């Protein structure tokens, strides 16, 4: 999933719609993110390309809204409600996901197994 800045990215993505869960005053999605253009990409255990500064799902609460929706650890978030997530800071991504007035977030995510599945089907 390496890409060159300025060049279009081709990736196999899955749409995931997460309905936030209300916990007290907070709306939670039930996952955590890592990465961002302000973070050290070499410490991202999930990226194949260690220069990838994308936003990755680092944890998913078992049984939480994100897991129910099919989000998985290691997923790379490409878009949130249509907003690009491949070139944002960690905090921008966090804010984009946690807007209080949005009860539903729609993600485009990609993951290795998706890519592989498509490759295999194309090859076979």
Partner 1 sequence: MDDYDIRSAASILASVKEQEARFERLTRALEEERRNVSLQLERASQPDRLSICNIGNGQPLATAWQQLVLQEQSPSNQTSIAMMQEPQEMVEETVTVEEDPGTPTSHVSIVTSEDGTTRRTETKVTKMVKTVTTRTVRQVPLGPDGLPAMDGSSPMGSYTDSIDRRYLKNGERYITPQASSTLTRSYNSYNDSYPESHEGQYRPYLGHDGYGDLSDNYGSLSRGVGYRPRYAYVPGSAYRPDDGSFTLPSRRDNYGPVAQPQVPVGSNADLNRSQPERFQPEPYGLEDDNRSLGVDDEGYELDPDYSTVNRRTSAGVPERGRPHKGRGYEEPMEPEMVEERIPYLHGGYAAPLAQPERGSMASIDRLGKRSPSIDSIRKDPRWRDPDLPEVIAMLSHPIDPVKSNAAAYLQHLCYENDKIKKDVRHLKGIPILVGLLDHPKPEVHRKACGALRNISYGKDNENKVAIKNCDGIPALIRLLRKTNDMEVRELITGTLWNLSSYEPLKMVIINHGLQTLTNEVIIPHSGWESEPNEDSKPRDAEWTTVFKNTSGCLRNVSSDGAEARRRLRECDGLVDALLHALQSAVGKKDTDNKSVENCVCIMRNLSYHVHKEVPGADKYQELDAGQTTGTGGSQKKKKDDAGCFGGKKAKEEWFNQGKKNGDLDRNFDTLDLPKRSEAAKGFELLYQPDVVRLYLSILTESQNFNTLEAAAGALQNLSAGNWMWSTYIRATVRKERGLPVLVELLQSDSDKVVRAVSIALRNLSMDRRNKDLIGSYAMGELVRNLPSRQQRSAKNLEEDTVVAVLNTIHEIITDSSENARSLIQTQGIQKLVAISKSSQSPRETKAASHILQMIWSYKELRNALQKDGWNKSHFQSVSAALKGSKGPAGRSGYDDSTLPLVEKSQDNEKSGSRDMIPMDELGPDGYSTIDHRDKERKYKSSDPSGDASEKEPLKNDTNRKNINRSNRASVNLVDARDIKPQPVDSWV
d(C-alpha 3, C-alpha 48), whole Å? 12
Q: Confirm or reject binding of residue 112 to partner 1 (CB under 8 A).
A: yes
Distances (CA, A) of 65 to 15, 23, 70, 117: 15, 12, 9, 25
Q: Confirm or reject binding of residue 81 to partner 1 (CB under 8 A).
A: no
3 vs 39, beta carbon nearer partner 1: 39
Binding mask 12-51 for partner 1 (x = CB under 8 A): ----------------xx-xxxxxx--xx--xx-------
Q: Confirm or reject binding of residue 54 to partner 1 (CB under 8 A).
A: no
The tokens describing 83, both together, are 């907003």
Question: Beta-carbon neighbour count of residue 83 at 10 Å?
Answer: 12
Distances (CA, A) of 94 to 22, 77, 110: 17, 12, 18
Q: Quote the least distance from Cβ 7 to partner 1, whole Å.
A: 26
Q: Confirm or reject binding of residue 116 to partner 1 (CB under 8 A).
A: yes
Q: Which residues bind partner 1 (CB under 8 A)?
A: 28-29, 31-36, 39-40, 43-44, 58-60, 62-63, 67, 72-73, 90, 94, 97-98, 112-113, 116-117, 120, 124
């Amino acid at each position: 999933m390496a890409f060159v800045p300025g060049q279009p990215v081709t990736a196999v993505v899955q749409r995931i719609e997460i309905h936030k869960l209300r916990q007290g005053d907070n709306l939670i999605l039930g996952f955590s993110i890592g990465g961002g253009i302000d973070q050290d990409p070499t410490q991202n255990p999930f990226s194949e390309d260690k220069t990838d500064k994308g936003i990755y799902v680092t944890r998913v609460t078992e049984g939480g809204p994100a897991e129910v929706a099919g989000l998985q650890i290691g997923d790379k978030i490409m878009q949130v409600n249509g907003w690009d997530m491949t070139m944002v800071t960690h905090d921008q991504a966090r804010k984009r996901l946690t807007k209080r007035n949005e009860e539903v977030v729609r993600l485009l995510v990609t993951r290795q197994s998706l890519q592989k599945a498509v490759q295999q089907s194309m090859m076979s």
